[in-house]
Amino acid sequence: MTEKLKEVLLQATKEAGAIIQQYFQGSFQVDNKEGINNLVTEVDNHSEKRIIEIIREHFPDHSIISEEAGELIQDSPYQWIIDPIDGTVNFAHGIPICCVSIGLKFGNDLLLGTVYNPMMNELFFAEKGKGAYLNDRKISVSQKTDFRKACLVTGFPYKWPNSTEHPIRVFERFILEGLPVRRLGSAAIDLCWVACGRFDGFWEYNLSSWDVAAGYLIVQEAGGVITNFDGEPYSVFDKQTLATNGHIHENMLQLIRNKS
């Protein structure tokens, strides 16, 4: 069963990636969702439609959560969590940091995950208990232990509740420490780049399950640590995401929570 699930996952990921690559830097319709720059393109919808078609063809009784289609709930322990284009703003502006992201849960456990950036020809894959891979090469998180030399990545939400500390204040604390912090515009790619050791840590607020499901498993299987901002075990439905190589996790928690 797992091999069939993996086969369907990779087929859906690659076909959606081909759609993205076909339209990249071309002409397509761009619309706004809630907020000024929360974009959706016709390519998001085209990619999502093909992914769901492939899943339904093989597993019509499985549940699906997808960014544009929403929840397609069935009476099944299997749940596919889909982002047809993570980094839509990048895609719409011709920036090649965007991807397809698909995670598969069974009950509470993530079984499989893929993140595919066709413009960079990078396909990340993880299977629970069997490691994480980039283009069939096994990957692992960095072994950096000196937090002062860490390279980090983050992102900012389009809307932020007034009742909680603004993410810019948290970002400022990292910058005042003299740390390099990048912002790529795709949480799924951020997580994968932690998993393969390009970044040592990542944090972000207000992500959705489709942003993180695949990347969460890829980080875990690459030997990383992922929690919420209280250091508690992570759920893909959490709104606080901290992923690191493990060695600098406590340092990042302290800065995020403003505790010395």
Options 20, 51, 55, 85, the catalytic residue: 85
Round to whole Å and give the CA distance between 104 and 126: 11
Residue 232 gets which letter from DSSP?
A: P
Residue 83 burial (CB < 10 Å; 0-12/13-18/19+)?
buried
Q: Are 47 and 82 a contacting pair, CB within 8 Å?
A: no
200 catalytic residue (yes or no): no
Which residue is catalytic, options 200, 211, 221, 238?
A: 211
Catalytic annotation, pick one of 67, 190, 200, 204: 67
Annotated catalytic residue, options 41, 44, 64, 88: 88
Catalytic residue among 44, 48, 68, 83: 83
- Catalytic pick among 44, 48, 68, 86: 86
Bridging pattern class, strands 122-127 and 78-86: unpaired
The yes-or-no answer on residue 211 being catalytic is yes
Instruction: Check if 41 is active-site.
Output: no
Q: Which two tokens stand for residue 182?
A: 């990048």
Q: Which residues of 181-202 are buried (b: 16+ CB within 10 A; e: fewer)?
A: beebbbbbbbbbbbbbbbbbbb
114 is catalytic: no
Write out the H or E segment, with its range, that includes residue 175: helix 167-176
Residue 86 annotated to the active site? yes
CA angle 158, 193, 111 (to 5 degrees): 90
> Is 83 a catalytic site residue?
yes
Q: How many residues does the chain have?
A: 260
Instruction: Tell me the one-letter amino acid at 177.
Output: E
Report the catalytic residues: 67, 83, 85-86, 88, 211
